[in-house]
Amino acid sequence: MNQSITLLSRPSGKPEISNFKFERESMPVANEGEALLKTRFVSVDPYMRGRMNLSESYIPPFEIDEPIESGIVAEVISSANPAFVAGDFVSGILKWKEYQTSDGKELVKVDANKAPLSAYLGILGMTGLTAYLGLIKIGMPKYGETLVVSGAAGAVGSIVGQIGKILGCKVIGIVGTDEKATLLTQKHGFDDALNYRTNVNLRASIYDMCPEGVDIYFDNVGGEISDAVMYNLNRFARVPLCGAISLYNAPEAGTGPRFEMMMVLKSILVQGFIYHNFSDHIPEALTKLEAWLAAGKMSYTETIIDGFQNLPSAFIDLFEGRNEGKMVVKI
Ligand SMILES: NC(=O)c1ccc[n+]([C@@H]2O[C@H](COP(=O)([O-])OP(=O)(O)OC[C@H]3O[C@@H](n4cnc5c(N)ncnc54)[C@H](OP(=O)(O)O)[C@@H]3O)[C@@H](O)[C@H]2O)c1
């Protein structure tokens, strides 16, 4: 029998295991033009929380009683599609199923000899592209500038900071544990990191760490953490708005300080983005990321959870900060 995980109900607040349902079904068979895929690694991502809501977005919501889907690396088990042979590895947005068939239209082949398969869901996948494209195209970093990253020990944030260092910026990370702060400074070369959970005055601490002011704020979390950084922005600062995880489970967004006048007076650029806004630049981004990785200028951290049955809990754990670097589930 095959296993799949469907959406049983839409969460209100933080997602719970009871929002998901495990189902058994017969094994799929590849018809003409299709390949039979075995799921090997599954990406769990904060943006999926938005797809659990019935609201309009850049991507449609998950349907009740339909399988959840996310970035997956799968192995081709058999193929009735001339583009694939058994033993190929592919990546794409696929369903939370142990086995499934695909016509291959949205899949890209990945090379297990070039990088570990899980890396195609992280630094060489959506995560790396988001970090590179958001920072380069909106952050426009220049040598000697100061970059602050929130959600800095996560999948996107840890890559953003390292790119900032390669380009000659001073880089400060904001994270939720002291262990994550150490990971950033010891392994990933950040200049310093702040624990927002234990810090009593984030705004003042950022000022102390960045007396020259902040030129780029790469925002993964939104909310009060971002408010604290915004007060420290320099003239002509750039703010790539990548995500707002601190607000994803909030019933209402709440209110905060008004920054409009400050943004006018300081000529600050604040721009939300989805990485595929810059799809023309994906080849350039992958070339750079692969080269930096091969040259040992970058490294990556992964939290790898074992087992199909642990997919929902791995996803939920993102909202508890239980991951360092990219959270993936190995099947
Ligand atoms: N725009 C795009 O194209 C795009 C693409 C990918 C991801 N994103 C967004 O980028 C952000 C990071 O994604 P990711 O995949 O790299 O996830 P991630 O950072 O690897 O994992 C989520 C992290 O967020 C932090 N967090 C959770 N709840 C929080 C809260 N209430 N306040 C502050 N921090 C909280 C936790 O770290 P701590 O322990 O440090 O709190 C957790 O480890 C998310 O907002 C995501 O939606 C956007």
| Ligand 1, atom 24, residue with closest C-alpha | 151
| Ligand 1, atom 45, residue with closest C-alpha | 243
Distance CA 162, CA 122 (A): 14
Ligand 1 nearest atom to the CA of residue 197, by list position: 41
Give yes or no for a contact between 91 and 72, defined as CB atoms under 8 angstroms apart. yes
Quick one: pLDDT at residue 56? Answer: 87
Q: Domain extents for the chain?
A: 2-122+301-330, 126-277
Q: Tell me the CA–centroid distance for residue 32 and ligand 1, in Å.
A: 40
Whole-number Cα distances in Å, 110 to 21, 119, 120, 159, 325? 30, 10, 7, 20, 21
Q: Tell me the CA–centroid distance for residue 159 and ligand 1, in Å.
A: 12
Task: Give domain 126-277's CATH number out of 1.10.3720.10, 3.30.70.890, 3.40.50.2000, 3.40.50.720.
Answer: 3.40.50.720
pLDDT digits (tens, 9 = 90+) for 227-278: 999 999 999 999 999 999 999 999 887 899 999 999 999 999 999 999 999 9
Helix, strand, coil percentages (3-state) for the chain, rounded to 5, are: 30, 30, 40
Q: Domain 2-122+301-330 in CATH: superfamily?
A: Medium-chain alcohol dehydrogenases, catalytic domain (3.90.180.10)
Matching residue, tokens 């922005």: 233
Q: Tell me the CA–centroid distance for residue 185 and ligand 1, in Å.
A: 19
With a Cβ cut-off of 6 Å, ligand 1 is lined by 45-47, 126-127, 130, 151, 153-157, 175-177, 180, 220-221, 225, 242-246, 273-275, 318-319, 321, 323, 327
User: Where does the pLDDT of residue 34 fall: very low under 50, low under 70, confident under 90, or very high at 90 and above?
Assistant: very high
Quick one: pLDDT at residue 55? Answer: 87
Check: pTM over 0.95? Answer yes or no: yes
Per-residue tokens: 201 = 């005055």
